[in-house]
Amino acid sequence: MKHIYLDNAATTATDPEVVDAMLPYFSEYYGNPSSIYSFSRKVKAAVEDARNIIASFIGANSKEIVFTSGGSESDNFALKGIAFANKQKGNSIITSSIEHHAVINPCKFLEKLGYEVIYLPVDSNGLINPDNVKNAITEKTILISVMHANNEVGTIQPIAEIGKIARENKIYFHTDAVQTFGHIPVNVDDLNVDLLSMSAHKLYGPKGIGALYIRKGTKITSLIHGGDQERKRRASTENVPAIVGFGKAVEIANTNMNNVAKRQTILRNKFINTIFDKIKDIQLNGHPTKRLPNNINISFKGIEGESIMLNLDMEGISASTGSACSSSSLKPSHVLLALGLSHELAHGSLRLSLGKHTKAEDIDYVIQVLPKVVEKLRAMSPLYKK
C-alpha cells in the first residue's frame, strides 16, 4: 500500500542531509563544548556555526539565540521567564484564545501564581484584532504573546502590527513561530518581536531541539539552573548532534523555502477548490488567504474527524484532526470553538498539512479517496441529514 504523509504540521521527516551532518557528532566529535582543550573546541565551533546560521536566518545576532529542547520549552521560557523577571513592574499578560497548549498551559500555571492573563478572542477566520490588543493593555501589562500562525487552521496573524503596539507601550512581545519558521519569511525586526520560539522538527530537522530568540536587553529569568551554558540562560550540556542538525535544516530551508511555499500553495488551493466541488456540507476553517501555504483544515457536517482520519489511514493516508499535542483528547479543538464552530462541526474537522515532498499525484489520490470515505461515514451517521 502506498503511504501519503499529510501531517507535516505535527512533525516532518528528518532530511537525509541533516542526518549526515549530525552523525560525526555522535561518535567522532563527541567532546563537551564547555571543555577548553582542542578536541572540544571543534565541537564548540560546530554549535556556534549552527547558532550563526539560525540567527542570520531571522535577522538576529547570534548572542540572541538560546538553544532549548524544542518549541514547548521555548514558549515556557518566554512566558515564565518574562513573568518572573518583571513581576515588580506588573502581573498582566495578554495572549489569544487560539494559542498552542505550550502557551495556554503556562498561562494557566501563571494564573495560579497570581498573574492575570487576558485571552483575546479571534474572528471567524481565526484572526486577532490588533485594536483588541491595544485596548487590553494596562499599566500592569508586562507581556503580549500571540502566535505567528496557528498550528491547526493555519491563519497567519498580524504580528508586525501587534508588535508595533507592544513597542509603543514598552511591553515585551513574544511570538510562537514554530509553524512559520522555515516555511515563510520570519525576521525579528520586521515582526517587531522581543522573543520568538522555534523548533527544528517542523522543518525537517531532528526532534528534541529548538531555540528561543531573546532580543538584547530583554529582562528574563532562566528556568533551568546549573552550569553556565547558553550565556547562563539555559543550563545543561548542549545537545550537539541535534544543534548541528538544526543548523543544517535551516541552511536547507534558506535555499528552498520560497519555492516550496509556492508549490504547496498551488497544491493546497487545488485540493480546496476540487474537494468543495466533490463534497457537500463542508467548510474551510481558517483564513482563506492569510494562511500557511501547507495548511488545509476542513469540517464535515454529520461525521467525526477521527473516523475520517482512521478511514484515510486504512487507505495509506496520514492526516490529523488537529494538534498532535491534543490528539488523544476527546474534547473538541479549543481553536475551532474559538472560531465559533459548534461542537459538532469542531469534532468533524480534518487537518491536512503538506510537506516539501508532497506531490501533485498525492493530492490527486486524496481527492479521489476522501469523498468515498465521507459518503460511507455519512451513510452510517444518525447525525447527518441530507
pLDDT at 296 over 70: yes
Looking at the chain, the whole-number percentage of residues with pLDDT higher than 90 is 94
What pLDDT, on the 0 to 100 scale, is given for residue 385? Answer: 77
Q: Which helix (H) or strand (E) holds 67?
A: strand 65-68
Residue 328 has pLDDT above 60, yes or no: no
**Residue whose C-alpha cell reads 547570534 in the numeric block:** 62
pLDDT band at 320 (very low <50, low <70, confident <90, very high): very high
Confidence band, pLDDT 50/70/90 cuts, at residue 329: low
Instruction: Say how far apart CA 245 and CA 250 lie, in whole Å.
Output: 9
pLDDT at residue 330 is higher than 70: no
Indicate if the pLDDT at residue 95 is higher than 90.
yes
- The answer to whether residues 143 and 116 touch, using CB atoms and an 8 Å cutoff, is no
> Between helices 71-85 and 101-112, what is the axis angle to 10°?
30
For residue 222, the tally of other CB atoms under 10 A from its CB is 18
Report the mean per-residue pLDDT for the chain. 96
In 194-239, which ranges are continuous DSSP H helix? Answer: none
Judge whether 196 and 174 are in contact, CB under 8 Å.
yes
What are 232-281's pLDDT values in tens digits? 999 999 999 999 999 999 999 999 999 999 999 999 999 999 999 999 99
User: Please, which pLDDT band fits residue 325 given cuts at 50, 70 and 90?
Assistant: very low
Range name among 19-28, 339-348, 376-385 with the lowest pLDDT average? 376-385
**Residue 324's pLDDT band (boundaries 50, 70, 90)?**
very low
pLDDT at 326: 45
Q: Is the pLDDT of residue 174 over 50?
A: yes
Burial 269-302 (b: 16+ CB within 10 A, else e): eebeebbeeebebbebbbbeeebbbbbbbbbbbb
Active-site residue set: 325
Asked whether residue 323 carries a pLDDT value surpassing 50, the answer given is: no
Banded pLDDT at 108 (limits 50, 70, 90):
very high
In whole angstroms, how large is the CA radius of gyration of the chain? 21
Residue 28: the pLDDT is 95
DSSP string covering 18-62, please? HHHHHTHHHHTS---TT--SHHHHHHHHHHHHHHHHHHHHTT--G
pLDDT at 75: 98
Task: Report the alpha-carbon distance of residue 299 to residue 348 in Å, rounded.
Answer: 5
**Cβ(129)–Cβ(98) below 8 Å:** no
Rounded Cα distance, 73 and 235, in Å = 13
- The confidence score (pLDDT) of residue 237 equals 95
The confidence band for 322, taking pLDDT boundaries of 50, 70 and 90, is low
pLDDT at 149 over 70: yes
Break the chain down into helix, strand, coil percent, rounded to 5: 45, 15, 40
Q: Which pTM value belongs to this model? A: 0.96
Q: Looking at the predicted structure, is the pLDDT value of residue 2 above 80?
A: yes
| pLDDT tens, residue by residue, 210-222 | 999 999 999 999 9
Pairwise pLDDT comparison (82 vs 325), residue with the higher score: 82
State the pairing for strand pair 172-176/195-199. Answer: parallel
- Please, where are the H alpha helices in the chain? 16-22, 24-27, 38-57, 71-85, 101-112, 130-136, 159-168, 188-191, 240-278, 305-314, 334-338, 343-347, 360-380
Proportion of the chain above pLDDT 70, given as a percent = 97
Q: Minimal CA–CA distance to 173: which of 196, 199, 190, 198?
A: 196
